[in-house]
Amino acid sequence: MVGIVLVSHHAKLAEGIRDLAEQMVYGQVPIAVAGGIDDPENPFGTDAMKIYAAIESVYSPDGVVVLMDLGSAVLSAELALDLLEDSVRDRVVLCPAPLVEGLVVAAVAAATGAGREEVASEAAAALAGKQSHFGPPPAAGAEPAGGTGARQSATFAVVNMHGLHARPAARLVAQVRAFDAQVEIRNRSTGSPWVPASSLSRVATLGALRGHEVELRASGAQAREALDHVVALAARAFDETTAGGPPIGAMVAPRTARSAGAGAPGTSGRVASTDDGPAAPPEPAATPLPVAGQPASPGIGIGPAWYAGTVPLEIPDVPSQGPAAEWRRIREALAAVRRDVRRIRARTARDAGDTDAAIFDAHLLLLDDVDLLGDVRSRIGSNVPAPQAWSAATSRIAGEFDALADPYLQARAADVRAVGDQVMRALLGVSGTALRGSGVLIAADLFLAEAAELDPAQVTGVLLASGSPMSHGAILARTRGIPAIVGLGPAVLQIPDGTPIALDGGTGEVAVAPSDPVLASFRERAAEQARRRQRAASRASAPAVTLDGVPIAVGANVGSLADARAAAESGADLAGLVRTEFLFLGRDAAPDVDEQEAVYREIADALGGRRIALRTLDVGGDKPLGYLPAAEEENPFLGVRGVRHSLAHPALFADQLLAMVRVAHDVPVSLMFPMVSTVDEVVRARKMLDDAIKLAGAGEPAGLRVGIMVEVPAAALKAAALARHVDFFSIGTNDLTQYALAAERGSAALAPLADGMDPGVLRLIDAVCRGAGSQVPVSVCGELAADEAAAALLTGLGVRELSVAPRMVPAVKEAVRATGLHRAALTAAEALDVADAAAVRALLAAG
């Protein structure tokens, strides 16, 4: 009997259609589904390996008919066929039938004993019944009924710090590919031409920067749905958690050069050549190279220089074997590279977390890029051999990135070249770079896949002639803890193999063949950093107690189950902030009470019964829910968000409160309402919480505490009035800072102004602590809490809990242990009256 495989971007959709067909034939026909991809963050897509396994599971000598939904499903199915043995492949038919009608008809035909060609033919004609009833479809260009036109449009403003770079562009393309629609996109702000939104290479070359207006137009059965989902995705910054953060270059403060007498180890940001001669002073002057480097990954690296052995690529000058044979070579190479990238991605997710592993998603999308593959196939169709066609197509796209003005988007050319190099090597059967040396790696550039293969135990540092701190290779070096400096220029490639090197990836300092004093200064710096890390890690699980014996809780900010596990491993005393939005965003319907309860319990279990602070849903104009339409707002940061949004949608709010109360009966829970401005909001929210407690039964949970996020200056100034209605305050310094200083926290131009150390912000924190009195504890869960220098400042103002990113917990605990509260209180009081944030930092540095 003929087997059937159903390929869809959505696993549940495919399973539902299969269930329908199986009911029609009473389960007599073997039907397998290959739906979605194995990515919990974005499960929509198709996987050639899944299709391959599905075909094998239903294969018999009678053959297999494969039905596909749209777009990349066809490409993935073709790739799956290439993986099959010739004898199997010849018995598999790819059928362009509609999914629902096609599968039902195919299943019935197969059940009656029809052969694979007849099954495919019957499936392809499955729409005949509908067409005869409704008549032929309108001619191309005709207006549909109602005269509104088939094409729909929408616009959105780019809010991501680096514009539509690889990650947000990849999310957009993946979203578009999930719908039965033809979507095009253009940068209205620059007047760019329209390009297909299903092509990552074309979307990323639009040069869409932060603040640019982007226009979409779509046609097809799901045009409106596709546009709505993309607009909603754009409004929440394409789920990029660092969308509002500072640019990478601003994350590392340059080291202030000291005088030679003070032991300055060379010139900051340049390659320094030092002399070992006997007449050399204790700190010899540096001989800098012409090009300054850029710090890309902090830390001290010391070791001999080594170069990766790269097998050169030589494209053979041989004629085409014909379009069919050459296209098969391309598909086989793509399948091999896709498997390799997924392997590296999985290992990176295991070692560094899924956020860092997500940088490989853009590479995977490039392997399926319709513009790139269309170009390659066109060239092959003109009898160009596969290697030459691939080289020309990838060079064209990389050149388009090179031509862009924005340096972050220019850096994406390296990703295209990296993918191009991997596929070319697979085409030619040539191995890649041998990254098996030890010491300081020197290279012209570092591809993402190469960076993922670096062993931190062997590679003590990286020096690159080109590249930027924003390249994905640099990002991955940071996640792997390997010090790196980039953009040093071609002179760095002239350093002889084996030359001793010392570098500081946090300042950009490099010493080539350093003298003993210079090397000693680097080693002491490295030793001090290692001692601090080791000391912090060894005591990470111990309480953080000030010099005068006052315990300060140090918790972790959590936005997923993986974060909760990382928090437990880092020694967090509690989850000081659980951002529950991750349960609600990026889906078609809100999670029900049972699903929410299950996830909150998983987070609590991961933390071993420690207290968890569950923040109720913080969405609204800046983070809209696609399934809960809201009116457009001029300024969503000042709109219906946080507790305002929850009170405006009581059914959604009631479900979340009920789930939290259920968990609180078994686990210590702090429940907090975000974006509070008035006492009335707290009273109304607590009334709904009381209703949830009654509905859950068993009375009020013993370990339940109720508090609010203080993010609005008015709330900070009304802390005494609010304190009568809460058990605790949690200050969100990110929002509090932007509202107090009228400086949008995602603006690169305003980054120096939007500083939580500003005395005006500190006065608001002081007002909260004074208004709270001795009965209502105050915590800080914004970025300021993770600043080690701020530990004394915040505790001196009266804060008794700090909540930070999981990896920062050990270091912040150490900062607390070095703090004496009496001295901290005097310093904090003085900080309230200085001129600006720089003066506050200078005050803290002076001790």
Whole-angstrom distance, CA of residue 661 vs CA of residue 602: 15
CA dist 824 → 164, 790, 827 (Å): 43, 10, 5
Phi and psi (nearest 5°) for 726?
-135, 165
Phi first, then psi: what are they for 727, rounded to 5°?
-100, -20
Active site residue 769: no
Q: How many helices (H) and strands (E) does the chain have?
A: 33, 27
Write out the two tokens for 611.
Answer: 């207290």
CA-to-CA distance for 505 and 80, rounded, in angstroms? 44
The residue with tokens 């239903």 is 58
Element (H, E) at 116: helix 116-124
In 3D space, the residue among 356, 427, 415, 433 whose CA is nearest the CA of residue 388 turns out to be 427
Token digits of residue 431? 């191995």
Among candidates 285, 338, 330, which has minimal Cα distance to 46? 338
Q: Find how far residue 453's CA is from the centre of its chain.
A: 20
Cα(361)–Cα(348) distance, integer angstroms: 12
Question: Which distant-in-sequence residues (6+ apart) come within 8 Å of 101 by Cβ?
Answer: 126, 127, 129, 130
725 is annotated as an active-site residue: no
Q: From the candidates 162, 165, 363, 472, give the one annotated as an active-site residue.
A: 472
The CA-based dihedral angle spanning residues 554, 560, 562, 565, taken in that order and rounded to the nearest 10 degrees: 30
Overall residue count recorded for the chain in this entry: 847
E strands, 567-693, are 575-579, 612-615, 669-673
User: Comparing C-alpha atoms, which of 490, 498, 382, 399 is closest to residue 440?
Assistant: 498
What are 400's two structure tokens?
């388009």
Residue of 212, 229, 769, 781 marked active site = 781
Six token digits for residue 395 = 């060079």
CB-neighbour burial class of residue 285 (10 A; exposed 0-12, middle 13-18, buried 19+): middle
297-298-304-309 Cα dihedral, nearest 10 degrees: -10
Please list the residues that pair with 544 across neighbouring strands: 552
Q: Give CA–CA dist 533/125, Å, rounded.
A: 67
Angle at 295 between CA 291 and CA 299, to 5 degrees: 135
- In the 8-state DSSP scheme, what is residue 112? T
**Spatial separation of the C-alpha atoms in residues 419 and 413, rounded to whole Å:** 10
Q: Which two tokens stand for residue 619?
A: 């969405």
Q: 72-83 and 48-58 helices cross at what angle (nearest 10)?
A: 60
Contact by Cβ (8 Å): 143, 149? yes
Do the beta carbons of residue 264 and residue 504 sit within 8 Å? no
CA triple 327-329-333, angle to 5 deg: 120
Which residues, other chains included, contact 672 with Cβ-Cβ below 8 Å and sequence gap of 6+?
613, 614, 615, 616, 706, 707, 708, 709, 728, 730
SS3 671: strand
Nearest alpha-carbon partner for 182 in 217, 157, 153, 207? 217
How is the chain split among helix, strand and coil, in percent rounded to 5?
45, 15, 40
Catalytic machinery residues: 472, 781
